[in-house]
Amino acid sequence: MPFPPLVEPVPALSAAEQRRTARHRSLAALGDDGQRRLAAGHVAIVGAGGLGSPAVLALAAAGVGTLTVIDDDDVELTNLQRQVIHRLSDVGAPKVDSAVRVAGEIAPEVRVRAVRERLTDDSAARLLEGADVVLDGSDLFSTRSAVAAACATSSTPLVWGTVQETDAQLTVFWSRPPAGVAPVVLDDLYPADRVGEPPTCAAVGVLGPLCLQLGALMATQAIALLAGVGNPLVGRLLLIDALGTRFREIPLRGAAQSREGGATSRPRTVTASGSPAHPVEIVPVDAAAAELASPAAPIVIDVREAEELEAGVVPGSRHIPLAELLDAPERVAREVGDRPVLIVCQIGGRARRAATALAPFTRARVLDGGYAAWREREDAR
């Protein structure tokens, strides 16, 4: 359902802005009133990278009045595969400078506040102050936690998206949404005590076009919230499988709803990988080593590519490349029978995908930190 708009409209658009946004203003759902609300809006974008870049482009083009772009990094050559506001000539320059340039080239009426500073627990409230909506496109979970905490305290809606390899997630967290809508916050999706730092893009890769797709969807959520149109993703989690060309939506319930319903455990949510019915368990490396030394040792499945195995393997592991496992998870489950399964990849991202695929058919868990953590443990002994 549409929510009440977050901002009052500006009195009027300039003649140039009216012409530039004419296709928006002709939309029945948005119209001139909605466009003037966008012009009054202030969106803070955390990160000018893979998700922040397309969001900057989309929101500037949409005519959002003020964009605060927060990023302390400089442009690297490897960024250009997906961070579309940067150019070869920008390599070595601050990322926020690209945001100022491209927004000005598209929509000179849009005000861009470039903040070249790392957002932390201590600085989050100050850096996000005044924003009507926050978009989190950061790539560190510590940053995401700081953003989420600040938004929960200020009651600012948080458009939250994440991409890993070829999969993406999108939702809207809001600690105090409009009446009749249940609050949902980051901890309802990723409990702080259960989440480690996810693998970086450098470690597991990321599909460039998926970043553009998700960044544009995040911008759409911000527009819907500012103008009071559409059906924002509060209480719903969108899952995108880019290579499988699949979109799925899963209800996301907050802790308060679970208490009202008489539940005594954590709310039914989707964990870092898996579904509400089949969450994926992450096993610390020391606990995994102890299990493998016991009579009831699990079957270890290594889903890395063959050339990666040259660096070493967990003793006794069985090699099934990820693509082969995803093609026939039922067959793999039949082959392992009733024995528990421990999935290993280099760091953990691919293993979580494999465990998610196996979860409906057999107990599948993931080695925390992957073979890299196993090797580090062995080298320290």
Is 345 a known active-site residue? yes
Is residue 151 annotated as a catalytic residue, yes or no?
A: no
H-type helices in the chain, by residue range?
A: 15-20, 22-25, 31-40, 52-62, 95-106, 124-128, 141-154, 186-189, 201-204, 208-227, 255-260, 285-292, 322-327, 329-336, 349-358, 370-380
Cα separation, 172 vs 183, whole angstroms: 10
CA distance 301 to 273: 17
Of 64, 172, 201, 320, the active-site residue reads 201
| Residues in CB range of 363: below 8 A, 6 or more apart | 340, 341
User: Amino acid identity, residue 294?
Assistant: S
Query: Using DSSP, how many helices (H) and how many strands (E) does the chain show?
Result: 16, 13
Helix (H, G, I), strand (E, B) or coil at 271: coil
Distance CA 129, CA 229 (A): 24
**Active-site hit among 242, 345, 351, 355:** 345
Based on the number of CB atoms within 10 Å of its own CB, is 104 exposed (0-12), middle (13-18) or buried (19 or more)?
A: middle
Report residue 97 as tokens.
């400078």
Residue type, 181: V
Cα separation of 352 and 176, whole Å? 32
Instruction: Return the structure tokens found at 134.
Output: 């926050």
Residue 354 host element (H or E): helix 349-358
The residues annotated as belonging to the active site are 201, 345
